[in-house]
């Protein structure tokens, strides 16, 4: 398995190429949408570049795939709101996210806003493992 540091280096360079922020100013803990101001189209661009680099297919929903797999038949979300069980799993698997924000009432859409650069690196790790 590739080291997270190695993947981070590629992800940071990809972000730099897409939005112009120097990679030296990009950190693992930064949130993608708020702190780096990456919008949905830039995100598509970044995912496509990472796909090309690693020869894999990526989806933003990959980030929750591990959580959904581990929950099995237990619902991860109901009508877009993440269940209590889903939040427990997110706290376990998404330690990079500010845990104080993983609270009852969080929506699937709202979770995306909390994604960090490390979350993006983890998507790559996940796909490299399962493909």
Q: Is 126 in the site for another protein (CB under 8 A)?
A: no
C-alpha torsion sign, points 45, 8, 26, 91: positive
CA–CA distance, 96 with 50 (Å, rounded to integer): 20
Considering the complex, state which of residue 9 and residue 52 has its C-beta at the smaller distance from another protein: 52
Q: Is 62 in the site for another protein (CB under 8 A)?
A: no
Of 48, 56, 77, 126, the one binding another protein by CB under 8 A: 48
Residue showing tokens 């993440």: 82
Q: Is 51 in the site for another protein (CB under 8 A)?
A: yes
CA–CA distance, 100 with 25 (Å, rounded to integer): 25
Q: How far is the CB of 51 from another protein (least distance, A)?
A: 8
Q: Give ∠ CA 59-50-21 in degrees, rounded to 5.
A: 110
C-alpha torsion sign, points 85, 75, 69, 105: negative
Q: Is 78 in the site for another protein (CB under 8 A)?
A: no
Q: Is 16 in the site for another protein (CB under 8 A)?
A: no
Q: Is 41 in the site for another protein (CB under 8 A)?
A: yes
Give the residues lining the site for another protein (CB under 8 A): 41, 44-45, 48-49, 51-52
């Amino acid at each position: 398995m590739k080291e997270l540091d190695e993947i981070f280096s590629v992800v940071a360079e990809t972000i730099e190429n897409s939005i112009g922020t120097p990679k030296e100013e990009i950190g693992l803990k930064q949130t993608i949408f708020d702190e780096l101001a990456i919008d949905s189209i830039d995100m598509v661009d970044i995912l496509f570049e990472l796909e090309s680099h690693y020869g894999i297919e990526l989806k933003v929903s990959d980030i929750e795939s591990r959580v959904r797999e581990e929950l099995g038949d237990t619902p991860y979300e109901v009508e877009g709101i993440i269940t209590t069980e889903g939040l427990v799993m997110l706290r376990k698997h998404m330690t990079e996210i500010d845990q104080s924000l993983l609270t009852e009432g969080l929506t699937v859409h709202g979770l995306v806003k909390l994604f960090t650069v490390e979350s993006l690196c983890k998507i790559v790790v996940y796909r490299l493992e399962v493909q």
